[in-house]
Amino acid sequence: MLSEIFCGIDWAEGHHDIALVDQDGSQVAKLRISDDSAGFHALIELLTRHGDSAEHPIPVAIETPRGLLVAGLRATGRQVYAINPLAAARYRDRASVSRAKSDAADARVLANILRTDRHAHRPLPDDSEAGQAVAVLARAHQDAIWDRQQMMNRLRSHLREYYPAALIAFHGAGKPGLDSPRARVILTAAPTPADAAKLSRSQLRALLKRGERPRCGIEAEVERLRAIFRADYLRQLPQVEQALGHQAVALIRQVDASCNSAAQLAAATEEAFLAHPDAEIIASFPGLSVLSGARILAELGDDRERFADARAMKAYAGAAPITRASGRSHVVVARTVKNQRLASAGHMWAFAALRTQAPRAHYDRRRAGGERHTAALRNLFNKLLGCLYHCLQRRTLFDPDRAFAAPLELAA
């Protein structure tokens, strides 16, 4: 049974505006609270005065799914609805044609959204504490990877200005990469072409031992680097080159920090994921490593009631296409409104799964049917996601024979 009171919260950095409306849309209370513990307790007291209880908690609408206020509200066991700000703006236009705007009015609009269209919005999932921890760490690790790549791009662009030997030595196919310990140690010790040309064999050998031992052997790598560093290249003026070298050292330190952050977050993510009850099921799927499995869990969560069925999960991930039909027009296109993090992880998941027999055969059949690579890969992700939904609901491990059963041939 729906509560007769609905709460809307217009949040801000320093304060939050609260509005309570009844079943008829009349505002019964309003309050501005501070963004601290005292403000939160004032909110709970206001809700309690208007009939809030453990058995029938008042639902809350707010424009953000994160933050201490949201965490506190979720801890009380009530349903919290995160309303998209764009959707809230459309509701505001429906309530007022004058385009007047205030924080108190926005809170009232959010409360009325629950009163009139609660069925059209979904509350925040009831993920476990362990699931929320995995989500925080997996997203932070992905952000650290993106930050590291951004720093790498800056360093590569900078080296192109004056130090082509560094790119020849470390950047490109078959090279260790500018973010490798080997490259960072050597470029820190020799940030300019002049410094690199002066490195002796013993110095290079010592630097390689500090960084990492190459697979080809230290002596072979020493000779390779000496030949590259002592070759003839275009050069900047000496003072300009020295200044660019100082800038390179600063960039390398930032790359060091981003690499260390990514490594630390990777270790923490793996530990949290492996301790989660769903880890064994998710890791049983082909193409999923510990880190990629953590990203899948982070975006899907562990609330088994979050998705009504497998189709809902596929739509959320962007794996299921959408149909646009109007008059004689009938087009099936890829879904663009989706969880971008989950879609990105799913693309890599499907691509990695091609190394196993059953997913590869499914992909090849789609390609033989005329689909392009991207569409076939998305269809494979769609298939794997449906299997994952089934396995999580029934607490079973992945079975390739059941997941990719041979297609039945129709009788003539």
| Stronger pLDDT, 330 or 383, i.e. the higher one | 383
Distance CA 31, CA 17 (A): 6
CB of 51 within 8 A of CB of 71? no
pLDDT of 215 strictly over 80: no
Which pair of tokens denotes residue 379?
């269809």
Q: Which residue type sits at 130?
A: A
Identify the band that residue 409 occupies on the pLDDT scale cut at 50, 70 and 90: low
pLDDT in tens, 184-210: 999 999 999 999 999 999 999 999 988
The stretch 93-98 carries a mean pLDDT of 73
- pLDDT, residue 269, reads 98
pLDDT in tens, 288-342: 999 999 999 999 999 999 999 999 999 999 998 888 888 888 888 888 889 999 9
CB of 52 within 8 A of CB of 43? no
Distance CA 3, CA 221 (A): 72
DSSP 118: G
Local structure of 162: helix, strand or coil: coil
Q: Which residues of 199-214 are buried (b: 16+ CB within 10 A; e: fewer)?
A: beeeebeebbeebeeb
DSSP 303: -
Return the half-sphere exposure (C-beta side, CA atoms, 13 A cut-off) of residue 150.
10
> How many CB atoms sit inside 10 A of residue 293's CB?
28
- pLDDT, residue 198, reads 96
Which pair of tokens denotes residue 324?
């646009």
Burial class (CB within 10 angstroms; exposed 0-12, middle 13-18, buried 19+) of 191: buried
CB of 222 within 8 A of CB of 208? yes
Mean pLDDT of all residues in the chain? Answer: 92
Q: Output phi, psi for 326, to 5 deg.
A: -155, 115
> How many CB atoms sit inside 10 A of residue 163's CB?
25
Which pair of tokens denotes residue 138?
């997996």
- pTM score > 0.85 for this model? yes
What SS3 string covers 210-248? HHCCCCCCHHHHHHHHHHHHCCCCCCCCHHHHHHHHHHH
- pLDDT, residue 45, reads 95
Which pair of tokens denotes residue 180?
């490798």
